[in-house]
Structure formats: C-alpha cells, structure tokens
Structure 1
C-alpha cells in the first residue's frame, strides 16, 4: 500500500486532463497561475495527500514535500511516515535524466531513465500541467475558511486514462493552486492540498540525486 501511495501522488501531480470544450474564463485563471510559477527558478511546497475510497473503507493521509526546478525537469518528492517529518518513508528523485525511487522500509532504490515520451510522471511540471492536452471549465468561486477559491474542473482527453476528472481549487488572491481532488474510475479519490509554498528556496547541489553511500546497505535495483 505504501508503494502504491507514492505512485498515486505522482500520478495525481502529472496526469493530463481535458473537457469537451475549453472554457475561456478558466484559461485566463490558469494562465495567471502558470505565469506566476514560471517566474520562479525553483519552488518548495509542503503538502498533505489523502487517499479515500468509501466503498472499500479505505482512508489514508500522509504529508510530504516537493522541491522542483521545472525548467530543468528536476524534482524531489519526499513522503513522511505518520510520525512526522523526522521519519522519511519514501522518496522519488530526478535530475532530469535519471530517476530514483527510494523505499526506506525495504531499504531499496529503483533506478530508471527519465521518461521523455511525455507520457511519464513529472512532478516538476505540477503547476503547469494543464497547458498541453487539456480542456477545462470554470465552476465559479467557492469560499472555504474565509478565503475565496476559484474552482476549475478538468477531465482526460484520452478516455483510456484511469482518471476521469480533477478538480482544482485556486487561491483567488495569491493565484496559487490550493488543492486538487482527483476522481479515478475505481472509486478512489485523491486529494492533494498545498500547506505552504516557498519560491526560489536555497537548494543544495545533491538535492536532485540519490547517493547510495548515504543509505547503508541499500539495495540498488537498476531497471535501465
């Protein structure tokens, strides 16, 4: 379940969506969001991720951190144990060429080439995913906890996708994505909520690479 959990996060961050007709007002809103993020060299965000399937009686929540340098297609996704940030459960790291998936419980890291086909999972593009292959519709403003959010629904152009809709909530004042609710065909609901966002954070040289020497006894599974 843990492994599926982080894969679900990546799917959530990078899936492509579309409606039968593009909504001009939604496009204006989304353009403002992506234009803002494109001014940053890098971003760091803390998030909560919830998997909910009422029929199966499953509801799990974990927290994580994403550091991304979108222009270079580099990212690091860290998922924490329920105990908190002190305990890292899983990580997915990419330097734009190589991707490492580290599972702490198994003390294993899987190494793959980055998928450049456009079909792969790329959290570095999380804030601009709507730009290619989507259509969208603006549902109006929603007030949550005293703040106003703009609600936009997206659905997949490719009907073979496992997801049939994603609902974005965008902070109307900050022009930032606040949350995304993903609906898949198996009854799962994935909610990704940004808790904070830091533009242009200081980034260490080794942020976007995995060092086996720093993980004693780790099994390296090279799938390239």
Structure 2
C-alpha cells in the first residue's frame, strides 16, 4: 500500500527547475494552476505492476478524494484517511484500525502538498512523445531522478492537452519493475458529506476491531 501511495504522490508531485525543458515547464505550470484551483478532487484509477523477468503482473483499482489538507484513500480493500490531525488506516481483512498522530506530511503519504500542488523536488524533466488515445491528445513529459541512489529509472507523465488533467503515469524501476497508474475518472468540486473525513472510533469498537494508537 505504501508503494501505491508513493506512486500516487509522484503522479501529482513534480518539481520545476530552471535547467529543464521550457515546453515541459510551461505544460506542468498549466496543470499546476488547473489542479490547484479546485475545491476538491476525486480520482478513480487503475494500477498495474509488471516485472516480466520475475513473471509478475498485478492489476487493481482504487480511488482517492482530496479536499485541502484532508484525504480519503481506498485501495486493496483498505482505507486510509487523514482528517487534518490524525491518520486512520482501516484494514477490514485483519479487523484492525491504526491511528497515528501526524501532520499529514510523512514520507510516502498522500498530502495536499504532494497531490494537489503537483510539485516535488528531485527530478529533471523533458518534453517527450505525444499520443492519440481514443481521441484524446496525450502529451508525455519524461522525468529522471536527480539522485543516483533512487530506485526509479524513469517516469513518463501523460497529460491531456485539452483538459490539462493527468491521464496516466508510467514508472520504470531500476530492477525492471514497471508501474502504470491510469486515471479512469477525474472529478472536481463534488458535493461531499460533512462527515466524509470524520473517523467514528465507536463504530469500529462495536464491530470488534483491534484499534492501535501510535
């Protein structure tokens, strides 16, 4: 789940640097402005992890809702929520809830600074290929980690030229593992329940969940 969260964070988290491609910078600036202007965002996505050498292929789906500094993330049957003060991870399979006091900016965590502002230090980037995907013009930006210690070899970020929304991310690891996240649905400024980011501890106690507080 941490790998999935980290990949999602990268999906919305790219840094700009003066030495990078001017066209790529201009496009990322447009995406940043567009995404940063929304009150909330809902993303439904498909996640595929492949390693042909190890004969591994895993596919799954998930979704995330973000509003300012709060989020609700559903993936692999588990739920992770940040209410602005604490992080709650609910794992029904284990009947367990993990509660952590956090500012929401821990490494590997989906946060507004990583997801919504679309910027993260550590990459060089350049203009890459364009593709027509079912009538949509998708422009790719290639990102290469600055650090030689990174496990990531390359990231291709696909951006819908018309909407300035992210279409997909293709991450290739140095070990040959390829992770692809494709956005199936991208909704903005949705009417959200006032209790969406409220954790009901009593409900899980009644259901017999083990509650761990860190």
Alignment of structure 1 residues 68-79 onto 2, 5 Å: 68-69=66-67, 72-79=68-75
Q: Residues of 2 paired with 1:107 and 1:25: CA distance?
A: 49
- 1:18, 1:154 within 8 Å by CA — same for their partners in 2? no
What is the total number of aligned residue pairs between the two structures? 208
Q: Residues of 2 paired with 1:43 and 1:57: CA distance?
A: 35
- 2:30, 2:164 within 8 Å by CA — same for their partners in 1? yes
Q: Which residue of 1 aligns with 2:6?
A: 11
1:198 aligns with 2:193: no
- 1:10, 1:123 within 8 Å by CA — same for their partners in 2? no
Cα RMSD (Å): 2.3
Q: Residues of 2 paired with 1:185 and 1:74: CA distance?
A: 33
1:41 aligns with 2:36: no
1:97 aligns with 2:85: yes
Alignment of structure 1 residues 135-174 onto 2, 5 Å: 135-174=124-163
- 1:48, 1:194 within 8 Å by CA — same for their partners in 2? yes
TM-score, normalised to structure 1, is: 0.82
TM-score, normalised to structure 2, is: 0.86
Q: Residues of 1 paired with 2:105 and 2:192: CA distance?
A: 28
* Cα 1:135–1:48 shift into 2, 3 Å: same
Q: Residues of 1 paired with 2:86 and 2:195: CA distance?
A: 13
Q: Which residue of 2 aligns with 1:56?
A: 54
Shift of 1:212: 2.8
Unmatched runs of 5 consecutive residues or more in structure 2: none
Q: Residues of 2 paired with 1:183 and 1:34: CA distance?
A: 24
Compare 200-209 and 32-41 and name the one that shifted more. 200-209
